[in-house]
Amino acid sequence: MGAIHLSKDVPGTPEALFRTIVAPPTWEYWLGIHREFVGRPPQTLVEGSTLVSEVLVHGMSEEVEWTVKKLEEPTRVVLRGKGRAGVQCDLAYQLQGSESGTTVTASVAFTGPLITTNVTKVLVEQGYPQLDRTLGQLAELAYALHGRR
């Protein structure tokens, strides 16, 4: 099992960031591991909804079925992903208003038969910079779509 936790202060409100995260059509513009959807995703996520996407992690493509485990507007989004190879990924975003906008804390935990000690090391090592870029792109898009509202 491996995990990555990263907090970043970004401009924009928790509401704007939340609305962007729960809108799957925006994922191609900010979610670093996302490549494309398999089938048509919902326009907006609700608790219990599922969608399938192709992700690219460490040069390997995998179809992941995402289930929305928890939505607490505008502060928390929790998704659970299950891949065909038995890999499971929990992805959580915590949004807290701050003086400069919002502190976004992203947590990724991954488990499964392919997640060895060496794989975990590589995923964590490469995951931090990718997650940092993802949070920056999320903030830019949320601001472009929703401004400071």
pLDDT of residue 58: 72
pLDDT of residue 110: 87
Residue pair 2/112 in contact (Cβ under 8 Å)? The answer is: no
Residue 125: how many CB atoms within 10 A of its CB?
A: 11
Q: Give the dihedral sign, CA 130/53/104/44.
A: positive
Residue pair 128/30 in contact (Cβ under 8 Å)? The answer is: no
Whether 119 shows a pLDDT value over 80: the answer reads: no
Mean pLDDT estimate for the chain: 91
Average pLDDT over residues 120-141: 88
pLDDT of residue 114: 73
Whether 149 shows a pLDDT value over 60: the answer reads: no
Average pLDDT over residues 113-133: 81
- Give the model confidence (pLDDT) of 44-57 as tens digits: 999 999 999 999 87
Q: Please indicate, yes or no, whether the overall pTM of this predicted structure exceeds 0.95.
A: no
pLDDT of residue 148: 59
Give the helix/strand (H/E) hosting 105. strand 101-111
- Give the model confidence (pLDDT) of 78-102 as tens digits: 999 999 878 899 999 999 999 989 9
pLDDT of residue 3: 86
Average pLDDT over residues 116-138: 85
Using only the alpha carbons of the chain, give its radius of gyration. Answer: 15
